[in-house]
Chain A
Amino acid sequence: MKIFIKKFARMPLFLPIFSLFLVMAVNIVFDIVNGNVFYSFFTVSIKNGVLYGRLVDILNRGSEAAILAIGMTLVVSASAGADISVGSVMSLAGGMCCMLLAGFGNVNVSSYAVPLWVGIGAGILAACLCGAFNGFLVSYMNIQPMVATLILYSAGRAIGLLLCNSMIVYIRVPSFKLFGGYLGIFPTPILIAAACVAIMALILKFTALGMYVQSVGINGKAARIAGYQSRRIIFTAFVISGLCAGIAGIVAASRIYSADTNSIGLDLELDAILAVALGGNSLGGGKFRYSGSIIGAYTIQAITTTLLKLGISSAQAPVFKAVIVILIVTIQAPVVRAYFQKRASRRALETRKEAISA
């Protein structure tokens, strides 16, 4: 049994899966205390013609964080920093899309000013440009990633507000609600997130992108000497992060069928970074586990949903997330790791001594 636990703890995906189980356990205890059956967390039913249940809710609400986590994983791995502008870029993409669809200056429309695909394309394009801007600063100007993305962290939301004339732009057209609503009985965000995750998984499987990114993250200089174009790879990682932020932004805007630039993607950058860390990836760059990040993203959403269920308001929830972040990065810290390794080796030495003396 002890050996089994040890083996399990050494598994690469131990951290995310363990936390996911922990959250589920809290939910089950909460259900039992409230007099519900213990499996009510897992029940999925069909209400009003769509899937309904807490599990579905978590998968649905966690879509944006999961999409962001895809790009964030690459950025963290390649540049040893993080892209903290994703939340603002989401809001910018949503604002751009809604502004075009409504026609500039209109607040409330029930028909499109331009075709739907133009609006969505422009939103995603704007996000990609933001990613390219970040990537340019980081890779070609050698600026620390978090400082470079700080510019758009502040400006992105402000530009989004300017695009929407500092108002909330409503799009009351059924086809726009599709991306954040339901396709048949399935919530569309889940499908979009699943598609994004699958496409990236295929790219990582069938191209060398993952290997390039990891080698640049482990040692940029060595990778360059080995013939990789480190700068272009870091640049690509940031553009992909921007693209993901754009898609997430469109989903978020469609969910509330409006461009509420002040609140779209607020604090989501923390969720994305947290997802990467929770997935067992080092925030210091290098090797990454893609599946870990995705599980991490849904775990965080599960934590958020659970906190809300426990009666903690969304304004207070960051306290718990912050504590979790600090705990995870402390476990990952090189000093702490070295300490535990030392202790383990000392214990091994002692047992050996005992064996010899016996």
Chain B
Amino acid sequence: MNSNSVLLLITILLFAAMYVTGCIVYAGKGFSHLQTFLNILISNSGLICVTCGMTCVMLTGGIDISVGALIAMDCMFMAAGIESWGMPAPVLMLLVLLIGAVFGLVQGFCVGYLGIQPFIVTMAGMFFARGMTAMINTQQVTIKSSEFFVNLANLKFYIPFNIGAYANANGKLMVPYFRLPVIIALLVLLITFLLLRYTKFGRSLYAVGGNQQSAALMGLNVNRTRLSAYMLTSVLCSVGGICYCLNTMAGTTTQALGLEMDAISSAVIGGTLLTGGVGNVIGSFFGVLINGTISSLVKTNGKLVSSWSNVVTALLLCFFIILQAVFTKFKMRSRKKM
């Protein structure tokens, strides 16, 4: 068992411990129902997509902090497209994916071919996207007029055979359900998992992140790989934006504020090394679940302010970053001994 699977194991155990503790402490407030877990999945479906993309870009040793702003821009574009420009929702969804691809292409070009630090490029991207959101509309735009979109957002998938069903205070049977974004997010998760594990492109991401020079010597096109990583991230982020928009049904300038932080911390908590080359999306998925559980616990408590979940997430991030640093030091030392 190597140190990477240890990190993944720590993450899964942490999630289990947190969830079980929540179930015990807040049993009276309904935390132990299956619906609570499904709600975590529903409200974090956008984050799952984004974190899958973030994992890909972090595997190459880069980082993308423009994701939150890009989601805000996507949501605002869809909302304004439907409400002000009267465009059909399916076309807008495709357009949003296209915007993501172009956005990622520009960022990837700056990072891959011009050799500018990923952080600076994506920070500029973040401010650009946030500003563009305000350019489209500074007010909140709520989506009401597209029947297709509203129906999509209201779709409910009930769990069959009444598994996890419970009777509420009025004696009505509540069957747990999930919504469309969950399906999209899980599909994205599956596709990214397969992509990273079984395709040439996925393996080249690991190779570039592990050691750029040896990847180049192996005959990989490092620049192109890095460019495609950023493109993939922005496209997945746009998919996440669609999920996000289906959940919130609105576009505002402050939407998904600080989401990049959640995505990065989820990926790091899930065992993705910030230096690149190590990590997988399953760990990132559990990272998102941990994040979701924290904010759900804070919400269930009811007395705590929502900024507590920010503080706790940051503490966890800090803990895992230090853990990674210690692991890396350990590895270097054992390599030296060999």
Contacts and interface: CB of A to CB of B under 8 A. Distances in A.
A334 B113 CA distance: 10
A154 B258 contact: yes
Interface stretch (A20-28, A209-217, A219-227, A320-328): A320-328
Nearest to B128: A322
B261 A154 contact: yes
A142 B274 CA distance: 12
Q: Chain A CB within 10 Å — which of B110, B128, B305 has the most?
A: B128
B325 A143 contact: yes
Contact of B308 (A146, A157, A162): A162
B116 to A, nearest CB: 5
B134 interface: yes
Interface in A164-181: 165-166
Interface residues on A, range: 35 or more
A270 B127 contact: yes
Interface in A50-100: 81-82, 84
B212 interface: no
Q: Chain A CB within 10 Å — which of B63, B119, B132, B275 has the most?
A: B119
Nearest to B258: A154
A147 B318 CA distance: 10
B127 A162 contact: no
A159 B123 CA distance: 23
Contact of B110 (A150, A277, A330): A330
A178 B131 CA distance: 33
Given A155-B310, A158-B307, A315-B138, A336 B114 contact: yes
A283 B120 contact: yes
Nearest to B309: A158
B128 A137 contact: no
A54 B113 CA distance: 41
A141 interface: yes
B273 to A, nearest CB: 11
A316 to B, nearest CB: 5
B121 A267 contact: no
A267 B135 CA distance: 17
A151 B318 contact: yes
A157 B134 CA distance: 23
A286 B205 CA distance: 30
B117 A284 contact: yes
A155 B314 contact: yes
Contacts of B314: 151-152, 154-155, 158
B274 A322 contact: no
A329 B116 contact: yes
A319 B132 contact: yes
A109 to B, nearest CB: 21
A326 B124 contact: yes
B311 interface: yes
Interface in B253-284: 253, 258, 261, 264, 274-275
A154 B259 CA distance: 10
A143 B275 CA distance: 9
Contacts of B325: 141-143
B115 A161 contact: no
A148 interface: yes
B318 A273 contact: no
Contacts of A147: 63, 264, 274, 321
B127 A322 contact: yes
B99 to A, nearest CB: 15
Contact of A141 (B124, B131, B322): B322
A166 B303 CA distance: 13
B115 A334 contact: yes
A333 interface: yes
Contact of B317 (A151, A166, A319, A336): A151
A128 B98 CA distance: 45
A125 interface: no
Given A155-B315, A333-B114, A315 B131 contact: yes
A63 B311 CA distance: 29
B46 interface: no
A151 B310 CA distance: 10
B130 interface: yes
B292 interface: no
A146 B132 contact: no
B173 to A, nearest CB: 38
A318 interface: yes
Closest 7 CB pairs of A and B: A319-B131, A155-B314, A315-B134, A158-B310, A318-B127, A318-B131, A322-B128
